[in-house]
Structure 1
Amino acid sequence: MEAVIVRRLYDRILSLADHPRAGLWLFVLAFAESSFFPIPPDVLLITLSISKPQKSFYWALICLVGSVMGGVFGYFIGVQFMEIIGDKILSLYHLQEKYLVVQDLYRRYDAWAVAAGGFTPLPYKLFTITAGAFHINFFTFIIASILSRGGRFFLVSGLIYLVGPRVRYFIEKYFNLFTLIFALLLVAGYIVIKWVIK
């Protein structure tokens, strides 16, 4: 039943690409996904970038602003309303076990775990709400969010801009694997930098 509902939402979101205010819907989707909504904005970003490749980077920018602002909202939920709202959101998407994984990431890497979270297949809302719940440094949280989400969205739009519509199949089929590899490289880079600074 949940899969059917999500599929209907997915199809509905794709249909927004033809809406005259598609950019506004992209912003709303990116905002919502960062704090409480199940469908990632990539699906609409890819569709819009393919339909109007000359505006690919514009769509990525809208996605980035919406996602970071939504992340701030998710952070606020974690800080102020974790027991009332945050726990319910995590429970709705069956993320309680992953919450412990993210908790460990924050203990090791502080807010820079958000940078990895912006790329991994794990829902970004898990990282934003958890960051607030653990009172992660807000400024570092914002910077990490901009870097990770910006990297993700501009990478997708950039590939479509350079390669064209034929890259869509590759992105949709291997996106999770691709982003996971990038996240591992990001964490590895952080560890190397931290080791060099010491």
Structure 2
Amino acid sequence: MIRGLYDWTLRWSGSKQAPVALGALSFVESSVFPVPADVLFVPMCLARPERAMRYALIATVTSVLGGILGWAIGHWAFHALALPILDFYGKAAAFDALKARTGDAAILTMLVTSGLSHIPPMKVVTILSGVVAFDLKLFIVSAIVARGGRFYLLAWLLRRYGVRIATFFETRFKWIALAVLAVVAVLVALYEVM
């Protein structure tokens, strides 16, 4: 099944509609859909490395817009829309646990780690941000920085190193995500001390 999905994304990544599909996937991934945009973004960058930065722009803009939709769902339609979505994905308990630990610093940390490494999932953080009425301007800026940083760095690495860097990330993703989480935790702790 995974090999079939991989082959499908490689075929799709070379099509004329790939940028539109990437934008749609990035948008829904930030608010309601469980599949990260990377499944299309990485093969697209590998297939057309000269367009990697353009793909990063598409993924960043649509991901931030999708995040704003997630924030709006959490803020204005949590019980009608978000709670059924969380129940459907089996994430309601995880959401409640995250909500119990929220404050501005916690939300900001989750936005950054989610934007960079999908831990916790972006859609959970965007909805949670709306539920707790996290400042929308700060939300947008942090989403641009985190998601843009992720997509542009990945695009640059894929342009420069190609398949070698993709293989490196695939085999070490958990360790890289933990390292990013540790760095963000240290930065937040330093921020709170100052």
Unaligned 5+ segments in structure 1 are none
Superposition RMSD on alpha carbons, in Å?
Answer: 2.2
1:1-198 to 2 correspondences below 5 Å: 12-107=8-103, 109-113=105-109, 114-120=111-117, 121-196=119-194
TM-score, with normalisation over the residues of structure 2?
0.88
Cα displacement (A) at 1:137: 0.8
1:81-133 CA-to-partner distances (Å, cap 9, x unmatched) read 10111011111221122213422453261541312221243210000011101
The aligned amino acid for 1:152 is: R
Distance in 1, matches of 2:11 and 2:97, equals: 35
1:19-67 CA-to-partner distances (Å, cap 9, x unmatched) read 2021111111000000111110011110011111122111111110010
Distance in 2, matches of 1:11 and 1:103, equals: 38
Contact 2:30 2:67 in 1 (8 A): yes
Alignment size in residue pairs: 192
Deviating more after overlay: 60-69 vs 103-112: 103-112
Identity %, equivalent residues: 29
Distance in 2, matches of 1:12 and 1:71, equals: 26
Unaligned 5+ segments in structure 2 are none
Cα displacement (A) at 1:152: 1.4
Structure 1 residues 105 and 73: alpha-carbon distance in aligned structure 2, compared to 1, 3 A threshold: same
Structure 1 residues 55 and 122: alpha-carbon distance in aligned structure 2, compared to 1, 3 A threshold: same
TM-score, with normalisation over the residues of structure 1?
0.86
Distance in 1, matches of 2:7 and 2:35, equals: 10
**Local SS of the residue matching 1:122:** coil
